[in-house]
Structure 1
Amino acid sequence: MPSSVQILGTGQLVDLSRRLRRAGGPRLRQNVSRRVRRAAEPLQKDLQRSIRGVQLPGPGRTTRGGPSPTTRPLRATIAAAIRISVRSGASPGARVWVDRSRLPSDIKNMPWVIEAGRVRHPVYANRRRWVTQWARPTGWWSSTVQAGTPRMRAEIERVLGDVRRDLQ
């Protein structure tokens, strides 16, 4: 089930945050934030690619079809809602998450529904006729996060090492 990926409050990040405050370098702090954001961007891109690739096959029988009643593509809308935030204050870290406020009200829970593998919706906005679409639970969120988190952590460790050398 999608939630957020966070690398927060590790001892090194807290120590670095204190040193940056003592050094009084807002430019240095901005540089660290920018580099931490860049470390999280590959995970964000992987998650966006993963949700765009999820297949939602139909119920099995083919009947008449037609254009979608909405103009927004589901997977692209969810991909656009995957965000990154970086904090450098008291609880420094990076976070990658699905921003529900960027999703239309009728699909706010859809990232979690797709992760579970079962999507139930009305047929072409006809609320009297519903269909269930089953997706193979690919773990578009969990498996992608599991694969991308070590790379993100390693990159942040490298950034911390560079900044630590600069501060000494």
Structure 2
Amino acid sequence: MPRSVQILGTGQLLELSRKLRAAGGPRLRANTARRIRRAAEPLQKDLQQAIRTVELPGSGRKGRGGPSPTRRPLRATLAGAVRISVRSGASPGARVWLDHSRLPDDITAGVAARIDDGRLRHPTFGNRKRWANQWARPSGWWSKTVQDGTQRMRDEVARVRDDVRRDLQ
């Protein structure tokens, strides 16, 4: 599973970045960055919704289970870690990624990839001597959602690029 999706460094965006610097308009640069961020927001929201709706049934006996002892739901925590960044410097573009620094220490970086593949193995109620498997239908919550949303994001960034290029001429 790719850890992020990026749209950056195309020749046209680099040319546009140079023209923005030459024009010296900080308001124009800020406006462009804001519009590129808005182009990435639907993909971020789709990813957050996708992880919140992944079903992770327990593998234990029926009637067991209950609320998380950490009071921190896994899917909501992962959804909160999906981030956007926009760059307008030497390598302009937008990036949507899972920010591992926003995850608690007990959730490793590979958890999202394993959920994407359909299997999650974890200690039972924090007991590292006893492990449980949770199986999900391989939902592709990340890979499929990114694949579906990338073209829309690219099209919107191209539209922003063309609008700004028109303004600069």
Normalising to structure 2: TM-score of the pair?
0.95
Corresponding residue SS for 2:27: helix
Work out the number of aligned pairs and report it.
168
Task: Report 1:65-104 matches (<5 A).
Answer: 65-104=65-104
Matched residue, 1:117 = 118
Corresponding residue SS for 2:164: helix
Task: Report 1:1-168 matches (<5 A).
Answer: 1-59=1-59, 61-109=61-109, 110-168=111-169
| Partners of 1:49 and 1:163 in 2: CA distance | 31
Greater mean alpha carbon deviation, residues 120-129 or residues 35-44? 120-129
The CA deviation at 1:106 is 1.0
Match for 1:102: what amino acid?
A: R
Corresponding residue SS for 2:106: helix
Residues 115 and 141, structure 1, Cα contact 8 Å, conserved in 2: yes
Match for 2:41: what amino acid?
A: E
Normalising to structure 1: TM-score of the pair?
0.96
| Partners of 1:116 and 1:64 in 2: CA distance | 25
Match for 1:146: what amino acid?
A: Q
Per-residue Cα deviation, 1:61-92 (whole angstroms, up to 9, x for no partner): 31433332111110000000000000000011
Q: Which consecutive unaligned segments of at least 5 residues does structure 1 have? A: none
The CA deviation at 1:131 is 1.1
| Partners of 2:166 and 2:101 in 1: CA distance | 40
Q: Which consecutive unaligned segments of at least 5 residues does structure 2 have? A: none
Residues 2 and 115, structure 1, Cα contact 8 Å, conserved in 2: no
Match for 1:86: what amino acid?
A: V
The CA deviation at 1:126 is 2.5
Match for 1:53: what amino acid?
A: T
Match for 1:133: what amino acid?
A: Q
Residues 40 and 84, structure 1, Cα contact 8 Å, conserved in 2: yes
| Partners of 1:41 and 1:52 in 2: CA distance | 17
The CA deviation at 1:60 is 5.6
Residues 2 and 111, structure 1, Cα contact 8 Å, conserved in 2: no
